[in-house]
Amino acid sequence: MFVWAILSIPKANIGQSYITALGVRTGKFFGLTLQQKIVNSITAELIYVPSTRYYEEEYYALIRKHKRILSKSFNVYAGAGLHMINKNHRFNSNPLGIVTQVGVELNIWRLNTSFDFLPSIFIRNSEYLLDHSSSLSIRYIILKSKKKKFLKWKL
């Protein structure tokens, strides 16, 4: 509730200082994460987590809204998307669910660090109903946003 309240406050500044970031995700299991800025404070994130349980792979596709807190480099975000578990490489009977995400993010130089919580509700396959994970992600910022130039007053 607190995160949604912060995200709803209008502000002209964008919420992240990068365009593309790629890195690792740690938590119960290790994975890969790729983030791409879509427009101003909206990003898309793809997450791949190999071999989590019994020869399974997890895939996440999320859309996130960022809101800066103290500076352009420190922000909170919330988002939603799809979560799929690939069981033994059989895509037709795999669990598919809806995932939400809340977290905080800090950028220092070309390093993007974030901590988030991802609860999932599965809508296909009754073997799984609910799942969740909390993870720390560390990404290298491949493309940075261009800094806005201030107007230079001439006398």
The residues spanned by each domain of the chain are 2-144
pLDDT at position 4 over 50 = no
Q: Locate all alpha helices (DSSP H) within 41-149, ordered by sequence.
A: none
- Over residues 89-145, the pLDDT tens digits come to 665 677 889 999 999 999 998 999 999 999 999 887 766 788 888 999 999 999 887
CATH class for the domain made up of 2-144: mainly beta
Residue 125 makes CB contacts below 8 A (sequence gap 6+) with 93, 94, 95, 96
Structure tokens at 45: 């994130």
Instruction: Confirm if 124 and 35 have CB atoms less than 8 A apart.
Output: no
Strands (E), 1-155: 18-26, 31-39, 42-49, 56-71, 74-87, 96-108, 111-124, 130-144
- Over residues 49-79, the pLDDT tens digits come to 987 566 788 899 999 999 998 887 899 999 9
| Residue 94: per-residue pLDDT | 79
| Residue 17: per-residue pLDDT | 66
Confidence of residue 8 (pLDDT cuts 50, 70, 90): very low
Q: What share of the chain has pLDDT > 70, as a percent?
A: 75
Taking the complete model, does pTM exceed 0.75, yes or no?
Answer: yes
